[in-house]
Copies of this chain bind each other. A is one copy, B any other.
Amino acid sequence: MPLARISIPAHLSPQLARVLADAVHAGLERTCGVPTEDRFQLIFRLPEEAMILDPHFGDVSRTRNASIVEITFLRGRSDAQKRALFQSIAKQAEAGGFASDDIVIALTENSAIDWSLGRGLAYQDL
């Protein structure tokens, strides 16, 4: 039950948006044990003036393609898994046409009881 909110500049092609979305989910599968089918992603296309992102903070060089990936998922992933997740997402995004400097990722955590995937049922009870 990760939920990813991906905010990208509106000038990026739908293909490139999909590249990033695919990279995010592949990273979750490879490093955090998320099933392939457990995919829930929202993509927000924002005009340039709606993404105010410092060009260099964090010792990188961001371009106008810089994108923000927010992932909410279950508490309990190790620091090593999070490090591997960041690397996996950036690497696959880079292979698909992004600069890896342009991928900013923020994680927030919740608990199993905090999810309902439908039908009004708590995921924990499935």
Q: Which chain A residues have a beta carbon within 8 Å of chain B's beta carbons?
A: 1, 3, 7, 14, 17-18, 21, 35, 37-46, 49-54, 56-60, 62, 68, 70, 72, 79, 82-83, 86-91, 100-110, 113-126
Contacts and interface: CB of A to CB of B under 8 A. Distances in A.
A101 to B, nearest CB: 4
Nearest to A106: B3
A43 B38 contact: no
Contact of A115 (B53, B72, B105): B105
B118 A110 contact: no
A26 B52 CA distance: 14
Given A54-B39, A125-B83, A100 B119 contact: yes
A72 to B, nearest CB: 6
Given A3-B106, A7-B42, A108-B108, A118 B54 contact: no
